[in-house]
Amino acid sequence: MELYDQIRKIAFVFFVVLGLGHFLAGLFFVNGYSPELSLTTNRVLFIPFVISAYTFGFAHLKYRLIEYGANPHWLTPAAISLGTVIFLTLLIVEIFIPDGAHPLLSTMTSL
């Protein structure tokens, strides 16, 4: 139980720091402040932000389930499998979709 509590606390710190950096980089890009640097920062922080959010969510769920006395043993392999699928999907999307074809970026550049 202490292991999941420690993972939860560390993942929360990463979630907040990466989320704040990702959010600020997006704001800088939309407002036109150093667009190349802010776009690069936004794209670089996206996948680590998602990974930290997923890690925090899983560790928090597992910690609460253990705290309440329910410990499904299938949850850890299922969460690892789902996390791997999410990570690989994000990686493939980031690699194979060109910058201009990304739906979010095409709406942001037209502003």
Q: How far apart are CA 11 and CA 83, in angstroms?
A: 14
pTM here is 0.76
pLDDT at 102: 58
pLDDT at 105: 56
DSSP 70: -
AA letter at 41 = T
**How many structural domains are present in the chain?**
1
Per-residue pLDDT of the chain (111 residues; tens, 9 = 90+): 788 889 999 999 999 999 999 999 989 988 988 888 988 888 889 889 999 999 999 999 888 888 888 878 888 899 889 989 998 988 888 777 766 555 555 555 554
Q: How far apart are CA 105 and CA 53, in angstroms?
A: 22
Domain span holding position 64:
2-109
